[in-house]
A and B are shown apart, each in its own frame.
Chain A
């Protein structure tokens, strides 16, 4: 059984309240950092820990922090990205709902490290009740003197605000988030300049995911080196995974990075295997934006090695045969699921959520939907439409202001790459395609456990 660095006390009754939280060792990192460490020493620990951003891109957090510009007389900000809207991802919600003080503690320690005296948690608008939990927890932290002026007599002043989001997936993209936080329409900004130079209100800003910030707490408490001992290679520490789809036990799990995927999917401690004795068809291991992998490429990479739940192993083989760790939204498809329908659904999501700035994304996602709709619903699609789909997603990928374009393109690309025959079957059997929503059985890529 893996360690629980984050969720250990999640189910302790009353852990949402600061007294209980402190009784279980809460806020130790604040004492330690503010009283015994310089900000740079905290940054150093985070660097040593090897922590990588848990928001999706997996960028090394220590490195991101050290990029933060520090011009004289200009404030700096830490912004916590709690907009979690990626289909299949719900780990941040879980963390904030059960352990609001863990995030607040992480915000204080991290802001101290970055020299930010004001920070924000930008939380998904639909998470109304979580917002309330956070607001109450922040009030408690103020009352206990963990927030406000001269915290613990250290001379560090720090204010923390929670801002409910505008109800758009795109506001989770860090620069769109900053625009939204500034009270504007959440359109992603061009980069450069990067937020580390010109972020919130044109001031240097670090944007980090909820889980990333929470992980700073054990890193400061135990030391970066200790943290780095967990995991494998450049995937250190533990990771929250939200698992859903056709599995026995849906939920949020904290795993040691490096856990074999087989164990994660099939052991009873975690997902408990594919539900109802069905066979596994495919997995999207990191939230809807990452490529789908067929079962045959899921358990083992093409070199025949076991795949592990780690950044490196999941992306082994590139897009041709691999996928990505992403945000940890683990979605499982059994043999009855229709890939075309699923792809169409995802395309609709990205089309709906495209902010509309970039021509390739705005128009391209629209056409992905239109063409997929034709194929899925037997509206006279031809084989050329598969090539057209391929062409459209190629035009979007890499040719947009923000990565939403990529996120829209990759699922389509992966579906065609691995399940082209299923698309062809839909085109050849329009009536069947319309009446039934499952795909053809494709033994080669199926694997029963």
Chain B
């Protein structure tokens, strides 16, 4: 018998009691029996038992579905021992129980050799001068199967195909193409962009971009997935990232968004040469976006700050580090003695490492003695942290991105992941192309185009929208009673209040059709597992925190918490927003989120830091500006943030910063904010330091130093330590391992985090003392015990109440894939050649009303100021709604944004600004950075 059946407990009906039949199936490799796993292909079966080298492959790739076209992986399969065999492509053929597999029979070896020989007849043999020499899968396979010469006479071939060097990053040389389709599949299956395809048949088959255009003209989003997938140099990039010439590689984490892609950075002679995405990275499995893979050349841009600067007679002049520290320490001491510690504040950075954020808040709290510490999380996800803390007890994503494999429905609210979080965005898009998806967004984003339901609401009406969905879930009887009963509190009141809503009124407020909302609500509520994702379109509103609480309500009312494929999953904006908050960079909670006003925790902090810690809540960022204007704040320390560019209402921010006695800015470039500083300290970039970043799914990952800091610069952490020392505090030198040791003692969910044990894929917090980590939160109970339902009524934004009459349009700000925030880094790379300017999205009806044509300059005016920006006419936005990005400071988008903030978390309302428009008279000129 070839297979044995170990069947536990079969009941009367013939099906087993526990639903588990364990059948051990076997197949033979070279006549030796091995156990097979369910659904396994012959290739994975052989690989599992004999390693990856026994069977050569060409069209197969680790992150792509099997394709079965090259046939190099063929093996002999027989039904009896040494019986008549048939060659089968192992990469896609399921292994059959009881079959006899001969992976290297003489016949098969000959077959492989002959196939590769055929392939080589149409491939140049100039390996020595090829970019991927020694790192070419074709070369490797040819060597493995023992090709010595090619028996075929010269014939028609494709060796004279032209190279495509049109694109700033992507290159192709199709004379090297072996038609394996890996690039096509990478573009389809990994990125979901469908740029590449095979044109022509048979011998004329050739890879084309779009309808036979160049990379530059195509819809390519430069993710590089095709180049990485290509086994030869037929598709590559300008950094020749597949060439292994003299390169060393270092694994680190991308500095851009909260997805947290792992990068493998190649360096030559201490300089970064190129970046690839490791296939074994759990987060990104060989994928990145163009920022992670290509936008690194800012790091040694000539404009990097290389020496400290001190303002003397109104000018910033070079100074030594000692001078700078001396100056800062003197000023800080003076202000602290004359006015008190609360006249000093610090703003930490979600761009920096956990260790640096921890140090920054420690410096402000322990050395200065105030809780005036905040971070740029304030302007993005502070409402998420607050809202989810109120509902669940923890302000972090409840699940992991891998859960997309297990979910049946996704709801994306106020997020544009294909631009903002490209790698997660690609996965969401892949999901939306196949499964049920709901997108709630005022813009018809790329996700919305693929969505099953797009609820295109009016900006600023999220609360009303959520109430609509909740209303239908309750009224259609889809609430999960069991879950509500067992796991939550406050439901009865909540339910009554929701049902008291006038649904017609809500539909009028949001502009969303009732029936559409009902269908979407039912899709979410009736899916077996549903996941929600939200972004800044939820948080950057006056009712941001409330919306987050209602999103939490949606998850609880449908029981979508505490298992695979469900949950509330904020898409964290910056690489380390999660970490900055975890480390205590907020004025009301210290490291580990302990409430600073609770006497028990006050004592705990006092004991831990062995000093009398500040006890009252400090300023949030907007309060810092107000305090400065009221002469209540004298000094501000900024670590890696360009508040002038990025905070709303620029004039207000400038006035506040201008009123300070001391503004210290740690930066890598001379930003608009740095230009206003009294002291500028040149910092090192992410490639030049070590530490950890925590991504949007709570994954603490190791950032490893790739190159030495550019001469004259220092890692931010080191700068903070040095100033702490200067001010008399004995902080040990900056090193990630010792810093993590300290952090693990105070931040409870870091208890088991050790630098040496994080490995390449990091760990998801909470990390227990034994080092085990957590993929899913709130499995058996919520952090706060029972989940709490909260109601919220929609309220018109103050901005529209005050200015809506005079300024009848609403502009909402957003991001584009190619750039990151105000472009400090990405605009110093070739990304600027791909996307060159900010544009104003405007509906054709509005454009016609104002006689605006495509490409015209439009003057956009708000109560605060006006800007000129180029029109792009599109139905991505509804009439009355405008949208633009803020990547190009020349546009001064934030001149017009308002100071209205979220009522509870004080996150600015970037997404709703009342404006008026007219065709601009003047012609705006683009300055080069």
* Residue positions of A touching B, CB distance < 8 A: 168, 170, 185, 187, 190, 192, 351-367, 370, 374, 388, 391-392, 395, 398-401
Contacts and interface: CB of A to CB of B under 8 A. Distances in A.
28 contacts: A190-B66, A190-B67, A352-B201, A354-B202, A355-B201, A355-B202, A355-B205, A356-B198, A356-B203, A357-B67, A357-B179, A358-B71, A359-B115, A360-B71, A361-B202, A362-B202, A362-B203, A363-B118, A363-B121, A366-B156, A367-B118, A370-B152, A370-B155, A392-B114, A398-B87, A399-B71, A399-B74, A399-B115
Nearest to B203: A366
Nearest to B92: A190
B571 to A, nearest CB: 29
Contacts of A366: 122, 155-156, 202-203
Contact of B121 (A168, A367, A399): A367
Given A190-B92, A370-B153, A398-B86, A170 B71 contact: no
Given A367-B152, A367-B155, A370-B153, A359 B202 contact: no
A401 B121 CA distance: 21
Contact of A352 (B89, B181, B202): B202
Interface in B83-104: 86-87, 89, 92, 94
B201 A401 contact: no
Contacts of B202: 351-356, 361-362, 365-366
Contact of A359 (B155, B178, B200, B204): B178
A224 B289 CA distance: 61
B204 A356 contact: yes
A213 to B, nearest CB: 28
B66 A353 contact: no
A40 to B, nearest CB: 23
A347 to B, nearest CB: 11
Given A362-B179, A370-B155, A168 B114 contact: no
A399 B73 CA distance: 10
Interface in B45-78: 58, 66-72, 74
Contacts of A355: 201-202, 205
A360 B67 CA distance: 14
A358 B70 contact: yes
A352 B202 CA distance: 6
Contacts of A192: 94
Contacts of B111: 395, 399
Contacts of B178: 359
A362 B205 contact: yes
A185 B197 contact: yes
Contacts of B849: none
B863 interface: no
Nearest to A380: B153
B119 interface: yes
B115 A360 contact: yes
A213 B730 CA distance: 89
Q: Which of A187, A351, A367, A398 has the most CB of B within 10 A?
A: A367
B921 interface: no
A359 B71 contact: yes
B928 interface: no
A370 B122 CA distance: 13
Interface string B740-780: 00000000000000000000000000000000000000000
B148 interface: no
Contacts of A364: 118
Contacts of A168: 201
A351 B87 contact: no
Nearest to B155: A370
The DSSP consensus for interface residues of chain A is: helix
Contact of B200 (A187, A356, A365, A400): A356
A359 B203 contact: no
A358 B89 CA distance: 11
B151 interface: yes
Contacts of B68: 190, 358, 401
Interface of B: 58, 66-72, 74, 86-87, 89, 92, 94, 111, 114-115, 118-119, 121-122, 151-153, 155-156, 178-179, 181, 197-198, 200-205
A362 B70 CA distance: 10
B199 to A, nearest CB: 8
Nearest to A364: B118
Contacts of B70: 358-359
A380 B202 CA distance: 26
Contact of B114 (A358, A365, A395): A395
A200 to B, nearest CB: 16
Contacts of A401: 68-69, 89
B102 to A, nearest CB: 15
Nearest to A351: B202
Contacts of A361: 202
A357 B197 contact: no
A391 B115 CA distance: 11
The 10 closest A-B pairs by CB, nearest first: A356-B205, A354-B202, A363-B118, A357-B69, A190-B68, A366-B203, A370-B155, A395-B114, A399-B71, A359-B70
Given A362-B202, A400-B71, A356 B94 contact: no
Given A370-B156, A395-B111, A398-B86, A356 B201 contact: yes
A168 B67 CA distance: 21
A363 B118 CA distance: 6
Contacts of A363: 118-119, 121-122, 203
Given A363-B122, A370-B153, A395-B115, 20 more contacts: A170-B201, A190-B68, A192-B94, A352-B201, A353-B201, A354-B203, A359-B58, A359-B70, A359-B71, A359-B115, A361-B202, A362-B205, A363-B118, A364-B118, A366-B122, A367-B118, A370-B152, A395-B111, A395-B114, A401-B89
Contacts of A400: 71
Contacts of A388: 151-152
B319 to A, nearest CB: 65
B638 to A, nearest CB: 53
Contacts of B115: 359-360, 395, 399
Contacts of B86: 398
A395 B118 contact: yes
A399 B114 CA distance: 12
A401 B70 CA distance: 9
Contacts of B92: 190
Contacts of B204: 356
Nearest to A358: B69
A223 B71 CA distance: 45
Contacts of A395: 111, 114-115, 118
Contacts of B118: 359-360, 363-364, 367, 392, 395
Contacts of A360: 71, 115, 118
A185 B201 CA distance: 10
A370 B118 CA distance: 13
B160 to A, nearest CB: 16
Nearest to A352: B202
Q: Which of A190, A355, A363, A365 has the most CB of B within 10 A?
A: A363
A353 B200 CA distance: 10
B201 A354 contact: yes
Nearest to B94: A192
Contacts of B66: 190
A134 B3 CA distance: 53
Contacts of A367: 118, 121, 152, 155
Contacts of B197: 185
B6 to A, nearest CB: 26
Contacts of B69: 357-359, 401
A318 to B, nearest CB: 13
B436 to A, nearest CB: 14
A187 B200 CA distance: 11
Contacts of B72: 359
A391 B203 contact: no
Nearest to A367: B152
Contacts of B114: 391-392, 395
A249 B94 CA distance: 49
Nearest to B152: A367
